[in-house]
Structure 1
Amino acid sequence: MAHAFLKPEVVTSTALGILEQELVMANLVWANPGFDFAGAKDDTVTVRLPGKTTANEYEWRNDRSADIVLSDIVEDSVSVTLNKDIYSAVALTDEELSLDISDFGAQVLRPQVKAVATAIDTGVKNLITGASYATTVTVNEDQFFRGVVAMRTALNKENVPQEGRVLLVGAEVEAAFLNSQMIRDVSQSGSDSALRSATLGRVAGFDVVVSNLLGPTEMYAFVPSAFILATRAPAVPSGATFASSQSFEGLSMRWIRDYDPMKLRDRSVVSIFAGFNVMRDTPAAGGSKKLVRAVKGTFVPTPDETPEG
């Protein structure tokens, strides 16, 4: 009877699926849009964005004495640098592998991938919370729907696309939304991903998503293209006997498993390269480039009027 061993490619593909399920913030941003870092100077690539131009109108049935107006096509670009080497490495002794580990995927691989997912989400969180926003809106708890509409209006004024808008909130803002009973629940897919579990519903054209990585009163409205996440799987070393790299829907990961004979233990290493950046555009009113595809909300809780004593 032939043995049935899993190939490393299968295990890595499974790990990649686990990673996608565990990510919340990273699934809300523009993830790895076809970046090729091979040979890139300083590990940085510049991505060309679609050009913009203007349309003109030629007078109907004119005498053709005037020439048409030629318009310029203006392209823009954004750069992103791979500068994070995120990994999880664990050692498994002979005793643990023989007596304690009955399901490698559940007991070893999933905790490792979850740790990597948390690190990636934290990187996206730091990108969002540390960005400089062109617009900040005050959102009072007792009038928060009006505040959310003001955030929507700010995006509309900058011609930000309607599709894919997200309102990312902390715990206290989440409570205000849930208590308001103004959120419209949306039917979800059959996915059991962490993002689905974190999605509260819709309000004012936003998918409302909660994250405990944010401060309790933090809130941000944006579209995915406001923030950029690039990932790449490290190369598989030629000396690794059991290893693979895989990519799927903007995510890349490498998994290596080898044996340390000097200490009689296995080593499992999950790793990923990552880079982050903010998308800046010229505001509708003109001037220097700013972050206009996202709006920061300043949440003001309603004072507690409970009498003392």
Structure 2
Amino acid sequence: MANRFLKPEVIASAALGLLERDLVLTNLVWTDGAFDFTGAKNDTVTIRIPARLKAREYGWRNDRSEAIVMDELHEDRIDVSLHKDIYSAVPVTDEELTLDIADFGEKILAPQTRAIAEAVDDNVAALIENAPYRTTLPLDGRDPYVSVVAARKTLNRSFVPKGGRYLLVGSDVEEKILLSERFNRMDSTGEGAAVSALQEATVGRIAGFTVVTSEAIDPEAAYAFVPSAFAVATRAPAIPDGAAFGSSQSYNGLAMRWIRDYDSARLRDRSVVNIFGGFNVMRDPVGDERPDGTREKGLVRAVKLDLNATPAPAPTPRRSTSK
């Protein structure tokens, strides 16, 4: 029977599938592996934010003495720069390849792609946790639902799309949610799925949010956002001419490269998986327009909730002065 060797494209595609499966946080944000960074200044590409206008009204049956007001369009932008080279490199000796490794993908590539997945997720976690939030709300541990509704209200007031919203929670916040009497009642009466729908990292849906838990973030924090609040760009590095064989693949917003060559000085193979990555926060124009037509920018597509945040003091009831 003839020997059967896997082509590098087949192995790289399988590895990319493993990477996507292992990712948690990266699947919650906006990703794109198709950006063309070739020749881009400072390895940076620009994402356009469409201009927004407010309609005006012209007086009904007026004497036409005044002209209509002409508005100017001002597009905005967000830059995403490649600044991370995330890799996993593993040597494989002749003895290991001959006697120990029956399935190269399972024994070598699977652990490598898991390592890449964890590193990418850690970068996304750092992006989310260190973002400059315009709004941080206290999270009520006794009744988290009230705080989640407050976050929903904040996003609504900023005209953030209602579809595809996530509530990313740390382990302590997840515990508060799962032990909340309100959510237990909702689950038992069929009005929600906060407890019974707990599968892997997804807790359920709460007040229009899909709730996902992660050990990579502060256990006492939660973040309400839409995917476009955080941008992640990846690019597969070019395959070097000196590599024995390898492949670059892009799928579902992810890009990676796998190469394998032989180190003759040490009689061993080398398997290397890596990704170029860039991470940034989406800042939208806020406030009134400046004289030069620009506006202040801020993160309005996401809200932070914190178990340790101090609640705003309740207003003092006004006493009646009537006698």
Asked if TM exceeds 0.5, the reply is yes
1:58, CA displacement in angstroms?
4.7
1:59, CA displacement in angstroms?
5.3
- Residue deviations 1:57-93, cap 9 Å, x none? 4556667665444332221100011010000000111
Are the counterparts in 2 of residues 35 and 47 from structure 1 also a CA contact under 8 Å? no
Q: Which amino acid aligns with 1:112?
A: Q
SS at match of 1:234: coil
Per mean C-alpha deviation after superposition, the further-off stretch among 48-57 and 100-109 is 48-57
Are the counterparts in 1 of residues 34 and 250 from structure 2 also a CA contact under 8 Å? no
Q: Which amino acid aligns with 1:124?
A: V
Per mean C-alpha deviation after superposition, the further-off stretch among 50-59 and 129-138 is 50-59
- Residue deviations 1:10-53, cap 9 Å, x none? 11111111111110111111112742211011111222122222
User: Hey, what does 2:221 align to over in structure 1?
Assistant: 218
| Whole-Å separation in 2 of the counterparts to 1:71 and 1:162 | 28
User: Hey, what does 2:318 align to over in structure 1?
Assistant: none
Unaligned runs of 5+ in 1: 187-194, 302-309
TM-score, scaled to structure 2: 0.85
Are the counterparts in 2 of residues 25 and 124 from structure 1 also a CA contact under 8 Å? yes
| Whole-Å separation in 2 of the counterparts to 1:33 and 1:295 | 26
Are the counterparts in 2 of residues 49 and 76 from structure 1 also a CA contact under 8 Å? yes
Is 1:185 the counterpart of 2:193? The answer is yes
Are the counterparts in 1 of residues 33 and 234 from structure 2 also a CA contact under 8 Å? no
Are the counterparts in 1 of residues 33 and 255 from structure 2 also a CA contact under 8 Å? no
Q: Which amino acid aligns with 1:290?
A: G
Once the two structures are superposed, the pairs formed by residues 55-66 of structure 1 within 5 Å of their partners are: 55-58=55-58
User: Hey, what does 1:95 align to over in structure 2?
Assistant: 95
Once the two structures are superposed, the pairs formed by residues 51-130 of structure 1 within 5 Å of their partners are: 51-58=51-58, 67-130=67-130
Runs of 4+ displaced beyond 3 Å: 56-69, 284-287
User: Hey, what does 1:24 align to over in structure 2?
Assistant: 24
1:250, CA displacement in angstroms?
1.1
| Whole-Å separation in 2 of the counterparts to 1:132 and 1:49 | 19
Are the counterparts in 2 of residues 140 and 300 from structure 1 also a CA contact under 8 Å? no
1:239, CA displacement in angstroms?
1.3
User: Hey, what does 1:169 align to over in structure 2?
Assistant: 169
Structure 1's 104 and 235: CA in aligned 2 closer, same or farther, altered over 3 A? Answer: same
Match of residue 299, structure 1, among 307, 310, 314? 307
| Whole-Å separation in 2 of the counterparts to 1:33 and 1:73 | 30
Once the two structures are superposed, the pairs formed by residues 138-153 of structure 1 within 5 Å of their partners are: 138-153=138-153
Q: Which of 1 and 2 has greater Rg?
A: 2
- Residue deviations 1:131-172, cap 9 Å, x none? 121001001111211011111111111111111111001111
1:285, CA displacement in angstroms?
6.7
Alignment RMSD (CA, Å): 2.2
Structure 1's 33 and 149: CA in aligned 2 closer, same or farther, altered over 3 A? Answer: farther
User: Hey, what does 2:281 align to over in structure 1?
Assistant: 278
| Whole-Å separation in 2 of the counterparts to 1:8 and 1:185 | 43
Q: Which amino acid aligns with 2:202?
A: T
Unaligned runs of 5+ in 2: 290-294, 310-323
Match of residue 201, structure 1, among 200, 204, 219? 204
Are the counterparts in 2 of residues 141 and 300 from structure 1 also a CA contact under 8 Å? no
Are the counterparts in 2 of residues 83 and 275 from structure 1 also a CA contact under 8 Å? yes
Match of residue 252, structure 2, among 249, 270, 274? 249
Q: Which amino acid aligns with 1:47?
A: I
| Whole-Å separation in 2 of the counterparts to 1:67 and 1:116 | 60
Are the counterparts in 1 of residues 34 and 235 from structure 2 also a CA contact under 8 Å? no
SS at match of 1:215: coil
SS at match of 1:163: coil
| Whole-Å separation in 2 of the counterparts to 1:61 and 1:117 | 64
Q: Which amino acid aligns with 1:297?
A: L
Q: Which amino acid aligns with 2:220?
A: T
Q: Which amino acid aligns with 2:285?
A: T
SS at match of 2:15: helix
Per mean C-alpha deviation after superposition, the further-off stretch among 140-149 and 280-289 is 280-289
| Whole-Å separation in 2 of the counterparts to 1:132 and 1:146 | 23
Are the counterparts in 1 of residues 136 and 303 from structure 2 also a CA contact under 8 Å? yes
| Whole-Å separation in 2 of the counterparts to 1:256 and 1:135 | 45
% identical aligned pairs: 56
| Whole-Å separation in 2 of the counterparts to 1:66 and 1:10 | 69
Q: Which amino acid aligns with 1:30?
A: W
1:196, CA displacement in angstroms?
6.5
SS at match of 1:156: helix
